[in-house]
């Protein structure tokens, strides 16, 4: 299966029309479900808009992001690291949907020609703030912000270490990293999260409260599931 | 320092749990199964019925309905166009090298350029009260077999075949319904728009008792009635200058 997926990606990136059609056919449902999840988490802010059209537009945008800059995002997929093509594309779709829906930019990756790992490294130092994330909705927002900031490799690390809870040594081996490199990555992401947490906590404080005492803003009702 | 690392790890674990919950809920959701093409026809019909009774279900159906063949073809065309200029540059680079290289480049450009005989890839979109979007009755999504029509005598159906590129040039289209394994010519002509789209808007009663609708599209020189019938009867989906698009026909659910 991995060999077939590798050949499919290689031929699609080479512009082979049949391979492109097959890739689009296989990945459209994967991307569509991630896009819909992201949109439904923000369903309140979508009132009055044509969500179906947004699903189609965002799905198309994710494909565009995968193939932008000579397919740099798609070329970052390495089956030897253990993540299937569908799971990898799903992570990219999560990231793209989160970024586009927050920033309103149609294709945020086009504005970021630099190496994506630099985004993680460039997180501002936040030394005195502790995370102030309490509500479920704030956690959802923090998750989106983190996905938006991580490189494809960072997304893979998060998926394997914290979503699938694989042992750190196993992940380090598969990703060709040392334990120390993973700890360093975690520290960089932690710095990012503290920075984002402060922003989100401030925004939550400004938002009106609902009857249960939770802050209430248009963005981000609980997930559809 | 160690405390901060512990806090970072704890927060990442919490976020990982939220992400895992999204995934679990998504995999268990019938709506996402609809998008992935994993529902049986009966399960899909149940969601369609639910959507007629509950506005929230209607909204979920709207966003989860799989992108159709037309949408996927549009994405494919856009990606192909995005990747195409890279290939187009190669001959130009050779042009400056030598007269021989120039001749080779010209041949390459001619063979890849627009041709009145090459037919752009067509894709189907279906709608109407007797049309099902996406595969039905299958446990696996089946790319290339997305069109299913319901032979409901009280309903109508619309099938539109759109070319992957604008203004594909002169085409003709002929339709056949397959009865008892044999294609029977559709009694009426098909609409062909100036931009090459082919449309059928017909009562679904004409589908009763048939198992398949085949639309054969091609260049006029490839598609006299006898050739179209041969292509509708065959198993090959396309050839130089022609293409066959097929919709399965099923009886309405009880």
Closest Cβ–Cβ partner in B21, B35, B79 for A63: B79
> Three-class SS of residue A113?
coil
Residues of chain A numbered 53-112 and touching chain B (CB < 8 Å):
55-56, 59-60, 63-64, 67, 70
pLDDT reported for residue B207: 87
Q: Are residues B15 and A146, on separate chains, in Cβ contact within 8 Å?
A: yes
pLDDT for A58-117, tens place per residue? 999 999 999 988 888 899 898 888 889 999 999 999 999 988 887 765 433 333 333 334
Closest Cβ–Cβ partner in A67, A143, A183 for B19: A143
- Measure the CA–CA gap between A16 and B233, rounded to whole angstroms: 29
Q: ipTM score here?
A: 0.72
pLDDT for B21-46, tens place per residue? 988 888 888 999 999 989 888 898 99
- Measure the CA–CA gap between B9 and A162, rounded to whole angstroms: 9
CB half-sphere exposure, B112, CA atoms < 13 A: 13
List of chain A residues whose C-beta atoms are within 8 Å of the C-beta of residue B121: 17, 21
Q: How far is CA A53 from the centre of its chain?
A: 21
pLDDT for B40-98, tens place per residue? 888 989 999 999 999 889 989 999 999 888 888 889 988 888 886 543 333 333 333 33
Could you tell me if B241 and B211 are in contact, meaning their C-beta atoms sit under 8 angstroms apart? Answer: no
- Measure the CA–CA gap between B251 and A121, rounded to whole angstroms: 59
Closest Cβ–Cβ partner in B15, B23, B26 for A162: B15
**In a mutagenesis test of the A interface, which of B1, B5, B10, B12 is the best target, namely the one with the most A β-carbons within 10 Å?**
B12
Q: Which residue has the tokens 């984002």?
A: A196
Query: Smallest CA–CA separation between A181 and chain B, in Å?
Result: 14
**In a mutagenesis test of the B interface, which of A9, A10, A21 is the best target, namely the one with the most B β-carbons within 10 Å?**
A21
Could you tell me if B207 and B247 are in contact, meaning their C-beta atoms sit under 8 angstroms apart? Answer: no
Identify the helix (H) or strand (E) that includes residue A118: helix A117-121
Query: Smallest CA–CA separation between A50 and chain B, in Å?
Result: 10
pLDDT for A3-29, tens place per residue? 788 899 999 999 888 899 999 999 999
Q: Are residues B36 and A33, on separate chains, in Cβ contact within 8 Å?
A: yes
């Amino acid at each position: 299966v991995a060999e077939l997926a590798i050949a499919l990606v290689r031929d699609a990136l080479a512009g082979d029309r049949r391979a492109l059609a097959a890739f689009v056919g296989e990945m459209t449902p994967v991307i569509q479900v991630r896009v819909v999840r992201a949109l439904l988490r923000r369903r309140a802010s979508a009132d009055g808009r044509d969500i179906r059209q947004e699903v189609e537009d965002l799905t198309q945008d994710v494909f565009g992001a995968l193939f932008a800059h000579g397919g740099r995002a798609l070329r970052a997929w390495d089956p030897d690291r253990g993540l299937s093509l569908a799971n990898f594309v799903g992570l990219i779709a999560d990231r793209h949907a989160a970024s586009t829906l927050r920033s309103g930019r149609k294709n945020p990756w086009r504005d970021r020609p630099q190496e994506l790992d630099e985004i993680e490294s460039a997180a501002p130092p936040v030394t005195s703030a502790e995370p102030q994330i309490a509500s479920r909705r704030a956690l959802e927002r923090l998750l989106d912000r983190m996905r938006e900031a991580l490189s494809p490799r960072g997304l893979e690390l998060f998926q394997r270490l914290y979503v699938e809870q694989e042992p750190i040594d196993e992940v380090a081996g598969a990703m060709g990293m040392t334990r120390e490199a993973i700890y360093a990555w975690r520290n960089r992401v932690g710095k990012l999260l503290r920075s984002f947490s402060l922003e989100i906590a401030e925004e939550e404080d400004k938002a009106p409260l609902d009857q249960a005492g939770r802050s209430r803003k248009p963005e981000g009702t609980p997930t559809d599931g | 320092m160690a405390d901060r690392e512990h806090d970072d790890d704890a927060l990442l674990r919490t976020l990982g749990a939220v992400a895992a919950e999204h995934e679990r809920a998504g995999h268990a959701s019938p709506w996402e199964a609809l998008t992935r093409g994993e529902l049986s026809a009966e399960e899909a019909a149940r969601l369609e019925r639910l959507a007629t009774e509950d506005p929230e279900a209607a909204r979920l159906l709207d966003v989860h309905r799989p992108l159709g063949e037309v949408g996927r073809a549009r994405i494919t065309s856009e990606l192909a166009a995005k990747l195409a200029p890279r290939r187009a540059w190669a001959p130009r680079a050779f042009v400056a090298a030598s007269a021989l290289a120039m001749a080779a480049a010209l041949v390459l450009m001619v063979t890849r350029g627009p041709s009145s005989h090459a037919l752009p890839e067509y894709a189907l979109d279906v709608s109407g009260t007797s049309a099902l979007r996406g595969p039905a009755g299958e446990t696996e999504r089946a790319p290339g077999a997305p069109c299913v029509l319901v032979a409901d005598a009280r309903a109508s159906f619309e099938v539109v075949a759109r070319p992957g590129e604008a203004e594909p040039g002169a085409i003709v289209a002929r339709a056949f319904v397959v009865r008892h394994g044999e294609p029977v010519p559709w009694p009426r002509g098909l609409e062909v728009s100036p931009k090459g789209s082919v449309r059928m808007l017909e009562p679904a009663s004409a589908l009763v008792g048939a198992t398949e609708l085949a639309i054969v599209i091609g260049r006029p020189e490839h598609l006299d009635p006898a050739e179209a019938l041969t292509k509708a009867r065959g198993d090959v989906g396309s050839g130089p200058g022609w293409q066959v698009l097929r919709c399965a026909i099923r009886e309405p659910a009880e």
